[in-house]
Amino acid sequence: MLKSIETIRGDSQGLAYQFPVLRFDGTDPAAPSAYLQAALHADELPGTAAIDALMPKLRAAEAEGRIRGRITVVPVANPIGAAQYLYGDHQGRYHTGTRVNFNRDFPLLPTPDTAGLPDDAALLPADARLKARLVALSMGHDIVLDLHCDDEGLDYLYIHAALWPQMADLATDLGARAVLLWEGSSDAAFEEAALHPYLQMSPDADGLDRRVVTTVEFRGRADVDPRLAATAGEGLYRFLVHRGVVADAAVAAAAPWDGVAVPLENVEMLRAPVAGPVLYHVAPGDQVAAGDRLATILHAPGEEGGRTDLFAPQDGLILTRRTVRTIRPGEDLLKLLGARASADARPGALED
Ligand SMILES: [Zn+2]
């Protein structure tokens, strides 16, 4: 394994950001290559813990000559977000300097050639240069896994419709309960940037039949513990074996996936109409029927008529809910996966 350090110039004097990149050379140039990164949203750490659990397996495989395809691993992809604290609270989702989401506005290249990406001398803010660097590091790998998590939720994956159901083995290996299929724009999330050049190619050259690009949602922000990390690390390892990146005869073939795959427009986001404390009547994993009460907002606590109840717009599976139990009008309370399109479906990414 080789370790190198990437440096991103800070936007003020005396400031620079660094993050390590861990690389394994493959023994077979024809084998698929893999890129894994975690904590692009810097406050989402289940993926970092999963990578920490995965790495000893990869080092053992390397020692035994079983790494077939090259592997690039970035355990902590966002040193800018990792350093952002405001009055003691971590701010890992948006760059406080530009107010841009760390997982939006990635450069969408017309081809896999990264020569035209801005370098660290470009007159761009640090977060934009970090995004260009992550695209450059990942481009050219057959498998690109961007490890995130939700607020509080089940394991699920975002996958472009062109890669489904070809990627169902990943859903099995990671124990994903749901897959959200997207098309069009994701507001240039990293996942879209990793796939975009290949979507521009002719079908005989794009390799979409074996390409893997996804945003992995490893449950919720608080799901960082030894057991979940070990399970996720084993799942990542099994997938690398199943796709031929690593050789390991002891790993059995992937079982068929038995979760729910729906288009993005089938996700009911359940928007709050009023502000106040939130009482949830459901939790991730619950199956609900249309009309079931999902949450109550105490818009006038203690007063008669001071509760606002919110009900399921259709039958479905509760995928996620908020960790913070206060809400403002227009914010989303939870994700419900339904069998038909939401009347409230929005274009682009589900969340800001
Ligand atoms: Zn995220």
Task: Kindly list the structural domains of the chain, giving each domain's residue range(s) and its CATH number in brackets, ordered by start.
Answer: 2-258 (3.40.630.10), 265-338 (2.40.50.100)
111-117: average pLDDT = 97
284 alpha carbon – ligand 1 mean position (Å): 17
181 alpha carbon – ligand 1 mean position (Å): 17
Dihedral of CA 342/344/348/351: which sign?
A: negative
* Residue 309's pLDDT band (cuts 50, 70, 90): very high
What pLDDT does residue 316 have?
Answer: 98
What pLDDT does residue 352 have?
Answer: 87
* Residue 349's pLDDT band (cuts 50, 70, 90): confident
Instruction: Please name which of 103, 85, 270, 111 lies closest in space to residue 198, comparing C-alpha atoms.
Output: 111
41 alpha carbon – ligand 1 mean position (Å): 5
* 147-199 pLDDT tens trace: 999 999 999 999 999 999 999 999 999 999 999 999 999 999 999 999 999 99
89 alpha carbon – ligand 1 mean position (Å): 17
Using an 8 Å Cβ cutoff, are 127 and 42 in contact?
Answer: no
What pLDDT does residue 240 have?
Answer: 98
81 alpha carbon – ligand 1 mean position (Å): 12
pLDDT exceeds cutoff 90 at 45: yes
202 alpha carbon – ligand 1 mean position (Å): 31
Measured CA to CA, the distance from residue 90 to residue 86 in angstroms comes to 6
Strand extents, DSSP E, the chain: 2-9, 16-24, 34-38, 71-74, 85-86, 89-90, 143-150, 152-153, 156-160, 178-182, 212-220, 260-263, 267-268, 276-280, 287-288, 293-298, 307-311, 316-321, 326-327, 334-338
* 212-270 pLDDT tens trace: 999 999 999 999 999 999 999 999 999 999 999 999 999 999 999 999 999 999 999 99
* Residue 347's pLDDT band (cuts 50, 70, 90): confident
**Residues, beta carbon < 5 Å, ion ligand 1:** 41, 44, 148
30-35: average pLDDT = 98
What pLDDT does residue 20 have?
Answer: 98
* Residue 52's pLDDT band (cuts 50, 70, 90): very high
pLDDT exceeds cutoff 90 at 351: no
